[in-house]
Amino acid sequence: MDNQILMPKGGDDYPTNWNQFSEWFHTEESCLAYLGGCVGLRATFAQDAKISLIPTGLAAAV
């Protein structure tokens, strides 16, 4: 079995500059929707692939 590590890609998975940040997170609802998606990804990776997109030190803060 080939283990593949999925890395987030700038511009697709997270904003890469201030203008993009402002476009993505122009409302509180858009921020919460993005963060909700991140938590879902983290749970999926933790269960299915035994990896996490969030470094261990940050996991407790999320």
Three-state secondary structure of the chain: CCCCCCCCCECCCECCCHHHHHHHCCCHHHHHHHHHHHHHHHHHHHHHHCCCCCCHHHHCCC
pLDDT of residue 6: 78
pLDDT of residue 40: 55
pLDDT of residue 36: 78
pLDDT of residue 1: 54
Enter the DSSP assignment of 41. Answer: H
pLDDT of residue 32: 84
> Which parts of the chain have pLDDT scores under 70?
1-3, 39-62
